[in-house]
Amino acid sequence: MAKFILSAFADEAGGKIAEQIDALKANGMTHIEPRGLDKGNISDYTAQNCKELRAVLDDAGIGISAIGSPFGKIKVGDDFEAHFEKFKRCVENACILGAKNIRMFSFYKEENESWELLRGEIFDRLGRMAEYSLSYGVWCCHENEKDIYGDEETRCYDILFHFDGKIKGVFDPANFIQCGVDIIPAYRLLEPYIEYMHVKDCRYSDGFVVPAGKGDGRIAELLTLFDKKEGERFLTLEPHLKVFAGLDALENAGGTADRLRDDYSYPTNRAAFDAAAGALHDVLKEIGKE
């Protein structure tokens, strides 16, 4: 049985680290997957920025579940060497922050290109990234993302099987839904390699992201299966809910605001984050994990 630890992309609650910490604590979360921060994206942080960030997080009692990096989110034809140099600095910064995982991706292609023909180059790049990060004791964790090589379950399996012991998996149900993937069979295929889970639900009908348990992600069933893994396992909330800044102004408009709320739109980033967190807690209660 797993011990679930709650983390989040807290930049969806606010742009400043103080806002993010407040949102995490208010929603019973002990960790963060840093992405957007006071000084920009985590991948652009200097060593000194990271030392300052760690001091703030340590003082608040907030740990880091993974580095929410964008590495591997370039086209195969783009300059990989410059990308790799930036990746190396981010891995070194992960050590300063005490992070053991760094989220990454498996590259985009041009519309007329073939994944089969690009596989060798992609795997060479993934291998270089994994070897470098492991030399620092940091795991590359591959996330399934729309339009990258590993955007559906068989190519994710190809990556994780090939790099077994070098790259771990991040399972994002909403991203799979947006690619038309059947969630539970995909989980069963990838389960041996999954290190942690993104909590993000979605609808097949329109690709719209909704709170956990409100879409087609079968989140309760998915987390029940994930609970069979041993040890500490991060559940990282990634709300991605729609923020409609004018929602409050429509409260007296008669039905319009209600319709938007039913479609999971929220007046502020913090309101959207709180709603997503509340839905996650509801699912955990449903499966007996809270």
* Residue 181, both tokens: 């993937």
DSSP string, 246-259: TTGGGTTSSSHHHH
What pLDDT is attached to residue 253? Answer: 44
What pLDDT is attached to residue 263? Answer: 74
What pLDDT is attached to residue 56? Answer: 98
What pLDDT is attached to residue 138? Answer: 98
C-alpha to C-alpha distance for 84 and 149, rounded to whole angstroms: 18
> pLDDT tens, 105-149?
999 999 999 999 999 999 999 999 999 999 999 999 999 999 999
Give the distance, in angstroms, between the CA of residue 182 and the centroid of all CA atoms in the same chain.
Answer: 19
> pLDDT tens, 217-254?
999 999 999 999 999 999 999 999 988 765 455 444 44
φ, ψ dihedrals at 276, nearest 5°: -65, -40
> pLDDT tens, 250-271?
444 444 444 444 578 899 999 9
Q: Which domains does the chain have, with CATH numbers?
A: 2-241+270-286 (3.20.20.150)
pLDDT at 216 over 50: yes
Give the distance, in angstroms, between the CA of residue 5 and the centroid of all CA atoms in the same chain.
Answer: 14
pTM reported for the whole predicted model: 0.93
Long-range contacts of residues 281-284, Cβ cutoff 8 Å, at least 24 apart: 281/27, 281/28, 282/212, 282/213, 283/212, 283/213, 283/219, 283/220, 283/223, 284/4, 284/223
What pLDDT is attached to residue 198? Answer: 98
> pLDDT tens, 55-95?
999 999 999 999 999 999 999 999 999 999 999 999 999 99
* Residue 154, both tokens: 């068989």
> pLDDT tens, 17-67?
999 999 999 999 999 999 999 999 999 999 999 999 999 999 999 999 999
